[in-house]
Amino acid sequence: MTGVVVFDHLILLFIAWELTSILSYFLITFNSETPEARRGGQHSFLITGLGGLSLLGGILLLGATEGVWTLTSALNVNLASTPAGAWIAGLIILGAITKSAQFPFHFWLPGAMSAPTPASAYLHSATMVKAGIYLLYRLWPMLETVDNVTWIVFSIGIVTFAWGSFISLLQLRLKGVLAGTTVAHLGLMTAMIAWPDLDMSAALFALVFHTPLIRRGLFLFSGVIEKMAGTNRIDLMSGLRNQSPFIFGIGLILAGASLGLPGTLAYYAKSLMDLPIMWKLAMTLGFLILGKAGLLVAVRPFLGTPSTKAAAAPGLTLMWIPPLILSLVSWLTVPLSHIIQTGHIAEASWDTKNLAFSIGSAFIAIALLRRWTPEWQRALNSGPWPQGANLFDRIWYAHLDFAKLIRDIVQSQSLAVHVLTVMSAFTVGVLGLITTTGMPALIAWPTSIPMDDVFVWLCLA
């Protein structure tokens, strides 16, 4: 990841980009004895690998047509005046959205949560998935010069934000819920890069800083809850506050930061989104669902009557420290900034309209949580929702079946089939060459070579 951010040469950036995909595969398949880990690793590797090839194609096409091989030089390129500009933009954008789990390639990220919790907290929540966002933002001055790119990227981001918010409510596993919220935040960041007629840079940077703090905190906190409950299913957890009221308090702090209550970085990021009222309402609804998902992870397992009797695992007394630190950073950054230096943070933090939206959505999320039952969770999870992972599996296995069919034809044990295949390929190639370039001129055979010798050598051959 350091190479992706530091390297200016596009080929070096691509090498670092691919290394993250390869190393991520090893982390996802850490528990390789489980089918979920193997499937999640395969999806992650194939999708991000496809995106990597697309990115490489865009880089090579950019270098071949414009002679540009560095990020800094690419900022001055006007792709609208380049014949291959649309192809360059499309290939680079495809590489970015596959890396950052944008719709319709979002499904690899929930499957990647088979990795150990610390790896998921760092790699799949905070760093690697931001690589696509980073590349889009760095190359946006070049990409936006192509017609309709702004609306295409904006639409992809908004759809990803909406769908990620929705699927976060369908999950029964703790990390599955967090994967859905991560997809939603990534979609929102993508939309903010391409938001038509609005400069969302300040809000984007605030959200980029806030999201890793809370996502990592919630991921690490989910590991604590799993140790306490002995399961990773939300619908099987309840009453954990009796086991550790102190950890329940940490969950409340994380939930407040996830809801974007006044004083948190999330609230500051939302206050910087100077949107029309309809977009403001839509964003509030999305953040409401994301806040509800945060409550499901950080608060819901502690409510109700105890359903499990799992003892605290060894080392649990230290596992709560990282999520507590991350949550406090999210809460204290804005107030400390206000104390150290007055300015935009102070102005944004106490805007009346933003306060009303934030507090109102928090109350609604809490009210929904009180009515939320495990039966609702299981009913939503079993609904007839489209599963991107299953569709990808069908396409992938159909591709393998087609490859086996071609192999059986080409690698047949029949000599007649081999000769027919070679002659057919030769004939098609020659006819294609003649069709595109025309009939070649007659070859003037050299007269100095005796033709008898030629026939002898042909017979020997």
- Name the residue ranges covered by the structural domains of the chain: 1-147, 195-383
Rounded Cα distance between 208 and 183, Å, is 13
Identify the pLDDT of residue 346: 47
Phi-psi region of 82 (alpha: psi -120 to 50; beta: other; left: phi over 0): beta
109-142 pLDDT tens trace:
888 887 777 777 777 666 788 889 889 989 999 9
Residues in the chain, pLDDT under 50: 313-314, 346, 461
What is the model's pLDDT at position 230? Answer: 79
The confidence score (pLDDT) of residue 92 equals 94
pLDDT score at 441: 56
At residue 95, the pLDDT reads 93
In this prediction, residue 427 carries a pLDDT of: 87
How many angstroms separate the CA atoms of 257 and 333, rounded? 12
Q: Measured between alpha carbons, how far is 31 from 28 in angstroms, rounded to an integer?
A: 8
Q: Rounded to whole angstroms, how far apart are CA atoms 4 and 2?
A: 5
Alpha-carbon distance of 350 to 276, in angstroms, equals: 19
3-state SS, one letter per residue, for 34-50: CHHHHHHHHHHHHHHHH
Q: With beta carbons less than 8 A apart as the criterion, state whether 85 and 145 touch.
A: yes
Distance CA 203, CA 327 (A): 20
Burial of 405 (0-12, 13-18, 19+ CB in 10 A): exposed
pLDDT value at residue 121: 74
pLDDT of residue 336: 66
User: Across-strand partners of 233?
Assistant: 173
